[in-house]
Amino acid sequence: MDLSSDVSLGNQANFDGLMLASLSYGALVMLYIQVSQVLIRRPARDTAFWLIVFYSGALFPLTTIAFIGKVKFVQTMYISNLSGQDSAKQYIASHMGEWANVMSQICTTLVPWIGDLLILYRLTVVWNRRIIAIVPGAIYLGRVAMSVPLLISSIRNVPEPHAETYGLVFYILCVCLNVMATSLISLRLFMMRHKAVRVLGNLQASLYNSTMTMFVESGAFFTVWGMTYLILRATDSWAQDIFLQSYPYVIALTRMLIILRMAQDRAWSRDLITAADTGVLDWEVSSMNSMSLNHSKPGGINQVLPAKFREDSLSSHSTRLNSSCT
């Protein structure tokens, strides 16, 4: 393969990566609109509500700024300065100090910080114990520390001799963290399937036991994406830039999917995990839509089940239909 072919493939990968990043950001915009609509219609303004508001309100603007900066930088590169024989990689290396790239790189660094915080939180929720996040948390801190020199080398026009090493270590830590978190969350959800059926019934448990639920809540899509990029980078493939360009937008997209499920009260919660582990529904009366069970705790406090979990079989629907007909 000659030099002109290498340049052409590199430029094509850079352009394809930008298109894929644009599609990912467009999907993120639609998800953020859905999250906002759900939050507006949500009557309860509890702690979980405000955490979702603050998290989505931080993740989406950072991703937007990163995308705007990237588009501006690439526009300048392709329209103003890049000819058919020039390499996009060489142009980027010599113009990394431009304000558009600096703005984009800073936000691109912060997005995974916020994104992986959510997956660590969901790991502790699903396992219902914080100790499970010790090793992934240590990897997360190491990755955050490694992202600082990587960011500095990404916004300076002066070549950094260790930039390649910084990037390789950073993405190895990122993939290790997400593989571990995805595996642990998927394992836990698989283990909870029969317990959820016993507590909720087949109808409601199907909302939590489906393959799509496990795929979304474990962040598996981003894990596969990160592994693919790392393999392409390790083999020095020309296609690695396709996956790198959209890397922060894919992680934001997968995390926003989890946030949407949380906003809709369809994500696994600590209450549901506790109930499935113990086999006892132990929710206190928190709204007018709750319903008492047939037994109570000592002291006269009724054990209740939220409205979304009340009807645990198809028989409840048929009962309502028969009563309405009579």
- pLDDT tens across 172-184, in order? 999 999 999 999 9
Give, as one character, the DSSP assignment of residue 76: I
What is the residue-wise DSSP string for 21-69?
A: HHHHHHHHHHHHHHHHHHHHH-----HHHHHHHHHHHHHHHHHHHHHHH
Q: Say yes or no to pLDDT of 19 above 80.
A: yes
What pLDDT, in 10s, does the model give residues 308-318? 444 443 444 44
Under 8 Å between Cβ of 49 and 265: no
Element (H, E) at 156: none
Q: Say yes or no to pLDDT of 255 above 60.
A: yes
User: What is the pLDDT, as a whole number, of residue 81?
Assistant: 64
What pLDDT, in 10s, does the model give residues 107-129? 999 999 999 999 999 999 999 88
Q: By percentage, how much of the chain surpasses pLDDT 70?
A: 81
Q: Say yes or no to pLDDT of 279 above 70.
A: no
pTM of the model as a whole: 0.81
Q: Say yes or no to pLDDT of 209 above 80.
A: yes
Q: Say yes or no to pLDDT of 293 above 50.
A: no
User: What is the pLDDT, as a whole number, of residue 216?
Assistant: 93
Q: What's the token pair of residue 82?
A: 């890049």
Exposure string for 239-273, b = 16+ CB within 10 A, e = fewer: bbbbbbbbbbbbbbbbbbbbbbbbbebebbbeebb
Of the candidates 258, 246, 262, 269, the residue with the CA atom closest to the CA atom of residue 116: 258
> Mean of the per-residue pLDDT values for the chain?
81
Domain residue ranges in the chain: 3-278, 291-325
Pick the CATH number of 3-278 from 1.20.1070, 1.25.40, 1.20.1050, 1.10.3470: 1.20.1070
Contacts of 38 (CB under 8 A, 6+ apart): 260, 263, 264
